[in-house]
Structure 1
Amino acid sequence: MSSDSTTTDDGDPLEPGDDDNSPVGDGNTTPADNDDSRVTFEDGRYVYCVVSLGDDDDASFSTTGIDDEPVSLVRLENASIAAVVHPCEELYDSADLAEVKRWLVRHQTVIDRAADAFGTPLPFQFDTIIRGDDDTVRGWLREERDRLESTLADLRGHWEYRIDVIEREPPDEKTLLEGDDELKSLRDRIETASEGEAFLLRKQVDQRVKTLRQHRRENVTNRLQTQLEDCTREQRRLERRTSVDLGGEFDRSDAGERLCRLTVMAREADEEAIGSVLDEIAAEPGFEVRFTGPWPPYSFAPTFGDDQRDANR
């Protein structure tokens, strides 16, 4: 199984996120009731990510960011780290959900392009803003330098992958009968039982079917997580939806039950091994597996600069 990445009509990746736990956003950003509620300030820098420039003293980067703003690097002097930013004068908050989605997509697109240019970035969540100019950003980089460099070194060469396992069709009672003596015994007893006893036995059959189905789901989930340990560096279970979709998001209108949602961090070279593990699960009757990536490691990036981030939304 190979991983997929979700894209918009123009080819931009509809970024990680959460899915359901999405990594780009923190899940706390909600559309404003009206455009007048947008918080403004004299000068600020919207931060997409921090990257390592290595030994390239002449490194540069430019692209188009949210609302067509020019994106550039703010580099810390005498260091190999830089922030990918654009100038701004307000928070990105809107009652227009389509506009918010466009912002989120562009946020992810910029980070993807920075990743192509510099390798694994340290991605920041949507609407991370430092109040001040480029010198203010450099001051923050200087203050956090040790931690930023350490984190970038730790993440280097690793990417995030999202995995959803969905049970489309649970095994029916006939299938379960073939492998469970207790269920067979209950069924045999119904044949010779009185009407009242047969009623109670049928209830026991229903409960046994539910138990067997649940055991099957737990077995698949546990087996998946155990097998992934050999080809991933770290894995986490995702319980909530994030504000940006990393792709492959499970549509709750679909028939079926999500057994688990995992996010894993691994080297791109291990993608095939991850896919082989998932192929085994997908080959079992009734299961569907969705696998997306590689994404920047949103779920595995530490939180930086909460005091700098304008959270008055």
Structure 2
Amino acid sequence: MDDLIYLYGLIPSDEADHQSFPSFKGFDGEKNIYTIPAGDVTAVVCRLDSEQFSEEAIKDKIDNDMEWLQEKAFHHHETVTALYKSFTIIPLKFCTIYKSEESLKQTIEASGPKISETLQSLKGNEEWNVKIYSDDPVLKKKVGETHPAVEAKMQEISVLPKGRQFFEKKKIDKLIEDELENEKNRVCEQLHEQLKHYALHAAIKKNWNKDVTGLKENMAWNSVFLLQSEKVETFLEEMKQADEKLGGTGWRIEATGPWPAYHFSSF
């Protein structure tokens, strides 16, 4: 059977023609990565044995072999990141595989205008990720001590009999929890809108839990921004000032990048 084609990303052919292509080992760790020209677009690929890397075999590895999954996912990310340093690239998702070079070319040709438009939109731009972390016990204490709604409720129950106060304080605990979430959303949304002014595009991603981050803080916000390269410094300075303003109050803001534009180059 013919080999399968593993697709890492798509780059402009004029860049592929005028820059030396780095030498990388492919997904199987043996065959080299190479390029397939398809008009104005060049695909960065490697060959895979069709039996060893069949759809069923890969699904089994993903479901049952975490070490394999981590190794291969890291390989994909590192390869795409290395390509991004030299080329404008539409990065493809992990394990994007075609049955043949011909089927890949047909897909590229069918989506040609969209691919060219996307590559043009990415040229000279960078993807940055901003995560906002909250120390909830610190923030909860602050809300309990300073929030007007909580303060009003505390005054209301202070004149009640002791038995009633016990049950009303349970309601206060719920009120504090609700106001804490409101405060977290307010701060995060405000900063997101503030940073959006510097971006061509922005998107909100799913928060990671503590099992993934390994941190004691909760991830309260997770967003990505596509920035013109010349605006990155101003964007990061704005974020730094926001972090300093919130510093010591239970908040921490973290920016990472630039990354290949996974979130702004759907193909």
The TM-score with structure 2 as length reference comes to: 0.80
Q: For the Cα contact (< 8 Å) 2:207–2:221, is it kept in 1?
A: no
Q: For the Cα contact (< 8 Å) 2:25–2:33, is it kept in 1?
A: yes
Measure how far apart 1:199 and its partner are: 2.4
Q: For the Cα contact (< 8 Å) 2:207–2:220, is it kept in 1?
A: no
Measure how far apart 1:123 and its partner are: 0.8
What is residue 85 of structure 1 aligned with on the other side? Answer: 45
Distance 1:125 1:185, change over 3 A: closer
Query: Which amino acid in the other structure matches residue 101 of structure 1?
Result: Q
User: Are 1:73 and 2:35 an aligned pair?
Assistant: yes
Bigger shift: 42-51 or 155-164? 155-164
Among candidates 210, 221, 224, match of residue 177 of structure 2:
210
For residue 63 of structure 1, give the secondary structure of its aligned residue in structure 2.
coil
Q: Deviations over 1:228-251 (max 9, x none)?
A: 21111212122277xxxxxxx973
What is residue 286 of structure 1 aligned with on the other side? Answer: 250
Bigger shift: 177-186 or 292-301? 177-186
Please list, as runs of the form range in 1=range in 2, the aligned pairs for 1:149-160 lying within 5 A after superposition.
Answer: 149-160=116-127
Q: For the Cα contact (< 8 Å) 2:207–2:222, is it kept in 1?
A: no
User: Are 1:47 and 2:7 an aligned pair?
Assistant: yes
What is residue 86 of structure 2 aligned with on the other side? Answer: 117
Measure how far apart 1:192 and its partner are: 3.7
Q: Can you give the 5+ residue segments of structure 2 that lack an aligned partner in the other structure?
A: none
What is residue 17 of structure 1 aligned with on the other side? Answer: none
Please identify which structure carries the higher helix content.
2
CA distance in 2, matches of 1:122, 1:173: 43
Query: Which amino acid in the other structure matches residue 152 of structure 1?
Result: L
Measure how far apart 1:101 and its partner are: 1.4
CA distance in 1, matches of 2:126, 2:85: 12
For residue 196 of structure 1, give the secondary structure of its aligned residue in structure 2.
helix
Q: Percent identity?
A: 18
CA distance in 2, matches of 1:209, 1:216: 10
- Work out the number of aligned pairs and report it: 252
CA distance in 2, matches of 1:99, 1:184: 54
For residue 94 of structure 2, give the secondary structure of its aligned residue in structure 1.
coil
User: Are 1:183 and 2:150 an aligned pair?
Assistant: yes
Distance 1:250 1:295, change over 3 A: farther
What is residue 127 of structure 1 aligned with on the other side? Answer: 95
What is residue 260 of structure 1 aligned with on the other side? Answer: 221
Please list, as runs of the form range in 1=range in 2, the aligned pairs for 1:292-307 lying within 5 A after superposition.
Answer: 292-303=256-267
User: Are 1:221 and 2:193 an aligned pair?
Assistant: no
For residue 85 of structure 2, give the secondary structure of its aligned residue in structure 1.
helix
Q: Can you give the 5+ residue segments of structure 1 that lack an aligned partner in the other structure?
A: 1-40, 242-248, 304-313
Structure 1 residue ranges (4+ consecutive) displaced by more than 6 angstroms after TM superposition: none
The TM-score with structure 1 as length reference comes to: 0.70
For residue 261 of structure 1, give the secondary structure of its aligned residue in structure 2.
strand
